[in-house]
């Protein structure tokens, strides 16, 4: 079975939901899937100041945190992360910065990677966040599997060819219907991972 790690960071739940849809689709495509969260590094005071953040953290307490061992295990990755000023959250950057040993030993070469993102407005940096994440992947020697316009769902979900992205309002509700796009992206990632790591 193709081994896929769905890695997310989510403060209030949006990217967790995207990750769960990706998991569902990847399993339908025949992959062995691990859903893993990036460790939370924000001060407890900041978390306590936002009830939605605190509630989500408590609700997902049983989700395992991603480790370098998971990166070595998986053949492909799907990242789901919110934007922070057009870049990846500091929690994600901290995790990525800790992968130097794997990189040095060539353990990340030819891993297949795809990414998704969210923001509170349609032009809030989702595309930039995804492409900034992909920059790290290029350094890894990984293979980026962006969805492009390979399915009609790209047009009904906002049209982001770099990776599915969604707008979230102040109440935490997604403004676009992106489930179909997420599921297509996940299945495409599994397909490309199979082609590279399970050639016929």
State pTM to two decimals.
0.96
Q: How far apart are CA 173 and CA 66, in angstroms?
A: 26
Residue 157 pLDDT: 86
Q: How far apart are CA 44 and CA 33, in angstroms?
A: 30
Q: Going from the N-terminus, what domains does the chain have, and what CATH number goes with each?
A: 3-197 (3.40.50.360)
Residue 171 pLDDT: 81
Element spanning 165, H or E: strand 165-167
Q: pLDDT (tens digit, 9 = 90+) per residue, 71-92? A: 999 999 999 999 999 999 999 9
Residue 192 pLDDT: 97
Residues 6+ apart with CB under 8 A from 51: none
Residue 73 pLDDT: 98
CB-based contact 38:79 (threshold 8 Å):
no
The two structure tokens encoding residue 46: 């900041």
Beta bridge partners of 131: none
Residue 200 pLDDT: 66
Question: Which residue numbers in the chain have pLDDT < 50?
Answer: none
Beta bridge partners of 166: 118
Q: How far apart are CA 29 and CA 145, in angstroms?
A: 16
Q: How far apart are CA 35 and CA 53, in angstroms?
A: 19
């Amino acid at each position: 079975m193709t081994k896929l790690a769905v890695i997310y960071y989510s403060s209030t739940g949006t990217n967790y939901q995207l990750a769960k849809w990706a998991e569902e689709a990847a399993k339908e495509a025949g992959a062995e899937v691990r859903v893993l969260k990036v460790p939370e590094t924000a001060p407890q005071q900041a978390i306590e100041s936002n009830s939605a953040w605190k509630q989500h953290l408590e609700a997902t307490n049983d989700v395992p945190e991603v480790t370098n061992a998971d990166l070595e295990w998986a053949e492909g990755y799907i990242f789901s992360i919110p934007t922070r000023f057009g870049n990846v959250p500091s929690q994600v950057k901290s995790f990525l910065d800790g992968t130097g040993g794997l990189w040095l030993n060539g353990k990340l070469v030819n891993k297949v990677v795809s990414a998704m993102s969210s923001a509170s407005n349609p032009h809030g940096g989702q595309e930039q966040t995804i492409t900034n994440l992909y920059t790290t992947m290029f350094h890894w020697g990984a293979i980026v599997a962006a969805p492009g316009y390979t399915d009609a769902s790209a047009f009904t979900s906002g049209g982001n060819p770099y990776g599915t992205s969604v707008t979230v309002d102040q109440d935490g509700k997604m403004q676009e219907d992106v489930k179909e796009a997420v599921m297509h992206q996940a299945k495409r990632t599994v397909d490309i991972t199979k082609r590279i790591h399970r050639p016929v």
